[in-house]
Structure 1
Amino acid sequence: MDAALDGASLVHSAAHSAHHYAGLSHWHATAGDDLSPRPALPGDLDSDVAIIGAGLTGLWTAYELQRRDPTLRIALLEKRIAGFGASGRNGGWVSALFPRSAASLAQAHGRTAAIAMRRAMIDTVDEVGRVIAAEGIDAHYVKGGTVVFARSDTQWADARAEVEQARAFGADALELWGPERVRASNSRGAVYDPACARVHPARLTRSLARIVERRGATIFEGTEVTSWAPGAVETTRGRVRARHVIAALEGYGATVAQSRRRILPLYSLMIATEPLPATAWDEIGIAHGQTFSDGRHLVIYGQRTADDRIAFGGRGARYHFGSAIRPEYDRVSGVFDHLRRTLHELFPQLPPLEISSTWGGPLGVPRDWHASVIYDRRTGLGSAGGYVGDGLSTTNIAGRTLADLVTGADTELTRLPWVGHRSPSWEPEPLRFLGANAGLLAMTGADLEERLTRRPSLIARAMASLIGH
């Protein structure tokens, strides 16, 4: 009787957990599986590779390591479930965007290195699509490009400058569209970048988790990592001994003492509408597979989902003191109201919007806004992250690069300029709190300044060097 009751209790607990995780976002609710947690680490373990975090960085790394050496024993250690964080909640852009601009990379690493990085990112958009097709992943991948509307004279000047800069670096096929090709309000035109695909991020992440498991990796969920060092990872469930230890925590690195000041968790929030009729999509001119944004400084991003919803998000939620990450920070009614208003402002021809889902979560921001891949062959310690919201493609190239580094390969990927880059630490509190939220206010102020003066923002110019532009 007691055993039967214990079994029923476990089933109820698993069902409760799955229901909880389905409520994280529209993407989790439609991920295509029941999100039931996998077993936790049962105790001490020996492995060849220990990966901290089962988001896209960790999963792509495991996937690529298995391609290079199927005999490797790989353990992924995840506090919640695979795809719990930004990997399962993002805007669904598989883009060629990198947190630092090509001009900024050229200044830091040289023109040749900047071009190599840009070309590698463009190639990665197709590489993600190739894997999705080869593995039969139903992640709604459609490569339709992204449209960035220029909705003021200042944004139009910036758009022309962006296209010219891309041509100067010789690695882009960006197009400048005139006003006759776009339907957003007040548009002078747009920049069209063909190197972007729409995807359902949670379906991609959860599918990758199942694939690496089938190939022999083990994902231990409900297993919180407390620290790591050469040869070992300490968790609340036991110690994992491994020759190679890869930290793939992104914004959640701020929750672990030894990486707390290496990354800043900045919240980005999203809404999803009910499905729109075909006539509404014709009115706003967004095709399947296309993503969209505009030229404002406070970032917004959207996509047309496979079932004809608008999934739309943006920055605007404040940074929380001490790099705190809590469930209640995922939903801020004022930001959701702002996103709804922004959609109507962007496309006033839309019918009244019914919002079916709201969610959010933290992304990872390094002090210099420079993503990195690091691996020390002597110690076996590695990491990747700092994507500043541009992670759907960047995680894939990070995984391929880490796999090359771990297996000792010398490739074009291991020579890219982000390999070995170490960002400075963020300031201690309260300076971190004051600086991060001042930056958020500055971007909001820059957009207001440009609307009032109709000139390029002096605030944005002052901030440019701090955010990699």
Structure 2
Amino acid sequence: MSFWLESLGPIERRSPLPGDRDADVAIAGGGFTGLWTAYYLAKADPTLRIVILEAEFCGFGASGRNGGWASGLFPVSEAKLARTFGATAAKAMHTALADAVDEIGRTGIECDYAKGGVISLIRTPGQLRRAPQDALDADAARAICNASGVLGGVYSEHCAALHPAKLVRGLAAAVEQLGVTIHEGTRVRSLRRGEVVTEHGTVRAGTVVRALEGYTAELAGHRRELAPVYSLMIATEPLPAEVWDRIGLRRRETFSDERRMIIYGQRTADDRLAFGGRGAPYHFGSRVRPEFDRVPAVFGKLRHTVKELFGIDVPVAARWGGPLGIPRDWMPSVGLRDGVAWAGGYVGDGVAATNLAGRTLTDLILGRESELTALPWVGHRSRRWEPEPARWLGINGGLHGTALLDALDR
């Protein structure tokens, strides 16, 4: 498990589905997407019979092991959205995501929430040439995050650092208090209009919700829907005050830099450095296995990157990882069609997006037209990934190409 989950102590698992049953809404997946959907549905209509079906336990997947960024970031740029959907729709998408960051704080679920914003450091001449006109200069960027070789930075206020496992476990408890039934240890085998089939029985429901993100490829008929690509993390022991005085992040700003191979970090509430990045290989056939969570070479690169950024040889307390879901066009989506709803494909920026998705699915399921149901990601369908071996060659070729471009940039 992740450092976040282990920090909460032993996980007490809920009982599996005891057999066939009926419901109004059946949700496959006990992560943020499924839980937020249940949370807002139950608040909107307490009479609904809502059942969540989770293969392991709530928060086992990306929701309990991510970088702890609730950010207004979206994998598709506002400019690209504007070209496809128009400037008004593009702005509405990014405004809604920014509000989702605040909405998580408004729920009052205790999760070490600190809205300090996010800074992406500019550290090479090539990155500086690509920087937007409103980028911070070197002094202003170093005042937030004093890393090596800083030439500038791109700052946004629309991000909060948090403890993701506290949020997902607290959200699961809040959902149960609202009358939602959660069955853990219940793996979903297939779903279609009107029913979700599990290893322990079938739930018949008027609306079925697919909320499996990086594990979608394991669902029958969905192998090419989302590619499970791994992201790995490390966490240090608590660092001394003098180290943080030098690094900064005084308001617990989250941080990255402008390299193409994504890195991400935060200062935790107990003064650890939690740091992660992409770079682990995609596995043939969209396979997801526990052993893929640990790639020593990637962990070594993460530790080296921290040393290169901050000049510290960090004492690593934990190492972990897991898959996230990537659609073919990198465009997350939510929707409802013929009684089957879905949300996902967040490309690693899902903590705030799942909250927005849950509220959007609530409106769709209840048949309410709203500003949320008019957003450009609603009803979007990405084309499926290519069959193997083209998928394996393309994704891993892209990873190697990205790393090469970063090396040339340096």
> Does TM, normalized by the shorter one, top 0.5?
yes
- Structure 1 position 338 matched with structure 2 position 321: no
Cα distance change, pair 242–106 in 1 and its aligned pair in 2 (3 A): same
Decide whether the 8 Å contact of 2:195 with 2:208 is kept in 1. yes
- Structure 1 position 88 matched with structure 2 position 64: yes
- Structure 1 position 42 matched with structure 2 position 5: no
1:191-246: CA deviations, max 9, x gaps? 11111000000110011101111111111111111111111111110010000100
- Structure 1 position 190 matched with structure 2 position 149: no
- Aligned sequence identity (%): 55
Decide whether the 8 Å contact of 1:177 with 1:191 is kept in 2. no
SS of corresponding position for 2:264 = strand
1:371-391: CA deviations, max 9, x gaps? 000112xx2110000000000
Cα distance change, pair 95–260 in 1 and its aligned pair in 2 (3 A): same
- Structure 1 position 29 matched with structure 2 position 1: no
Structure 2 counterpart of 1:160: 132
Letter in 2 for 1:362: P
SS of corresponding position for 2:130 = helix
Alpha-carbon distance in structure 1 between the residues aligned to 2:113 and 2:127: 29
How much does 1:181 deviate? Answer: 4.1
1:382-416: CA deviations, max 9, x gaps? 00000000000000000000000001111000000
- Structure 1 position 179 matched with structure 2 position 139: yes
1:305-333: CA deviations, max 9, x gaps? 01000000000100000101001110110
SS of corresponding position for 1:313 = strand
- Structure 1 position 355 matched with structure 2 position 316: yes
How much does 1:30 deviate? Answer: 1.4
Structure 2 counterpart of 1:280: 243
Alpha-carbon distance in structure 1 between the residues aligned to 2:378 and 2:205: 22
How much does 1:286 deviate? Answer: 1.6
1:2-401 to 2 correspondences below 5 Å: 24-31=1-8, 34-131=10-107, 133=108, 137-161=109-133, 163=134, 176-179=136-139, 181-182=141-142, 183-348=146-311, 350=312, 352-376=313-337, 379-401=338-360
SS of corresponding position for 2:131 = helix
Cα distance change, pair 275–375 in 1 and its aligned pair in 2 (3 A): same
Letter in 2 for 1:25: S
Letter in 2 for 1:30: S
**With structure 2 as the length reference, what TM-score do the two structures score?**
0.98
Decide whether the 8 Å contact of 1:288 with 1:306 is kept in 2. no
4+ residue runs of structure 1 moved beyond 4 angstroms? Answer: none
How much does 1:156 deviate? Answer: 1.8
How much does 1:257 deviate? Answer: 2.1
Alpha-carbon distance in structure 1 between the residues aligned to 2:389 and 2:191: 27
- What RMSD over aligned residues (CA atoms) do the two structures have, in Å? 1.0
Tell which deviates more after alignment, 184-193 or 260-269: 184-193
How much does 1:111 deviate? Answer: 1.1
SS of corresponding position for 2:330 = coil
1:323-373: CA deviations, max 9, x gaps? 01001110110000000000011111x3x3110000000000000000000
1:93-142: CA deviations, max 9, x gaps? 010001111111111111111011011111111111111x2xxx220000
Letter in 2 for 1:317: A
Alpha-carbon distance in structure 2 between the residues aligned to 1:181 and 1:370: 30
How much does 1:152 deviate? Answer: 1.1
Alpha-carbon distance in structure 1 between the residues aligned to 2:129 and 2:369: 41
1:449-460 to 2 correspondences below 5 Å: 449-451=408-410
1:141-172: CA deviations, max 9, x gaps? 000011111001221222225x4xxxxxxxxx
Letter in 2 for 1:77: L
SS of corresponding position for 2:206 = strand
Cα distance change, pair 338–68 in 1 and its aligned pair in 2 (3 A): same
Tell which deviates more after alignment, 98-107 or 176-185: 176-185
Alpha-carbon distance in structure 2 between the residues aligned to 1:290 and 1:222: 36
Return the structure number with greater helix share: 1
Larger Rg: 1
Alpha-carbon distance in structure 1 between the residues aligned to 2:62 and 2:325: 9
1:22-69: CA deviations, max 9, x gaps? xx01001113x5312110000000000000000000000000001110
2:390 to 423, 431, 439: 431
Letter in 1 for 2:329: D
Tell which deviates more after alignment, 189-198 or 50-59: 189-198
**With structure 1 as the length reference, what TM-score do the two structures score?**
0.85
Alpha-carbon distance in structure 2 between the residues aligned to 1:373 and 1:399: 9
How much does 1:423 deviate? Answer: 0.3
Alpha-carbon distance in structure 1 between the residues aligned to 2:95 and 2:110: 27
Alpha-carbon distance in structure 1 between the residues aligned to 2:140 and 2:189: 56
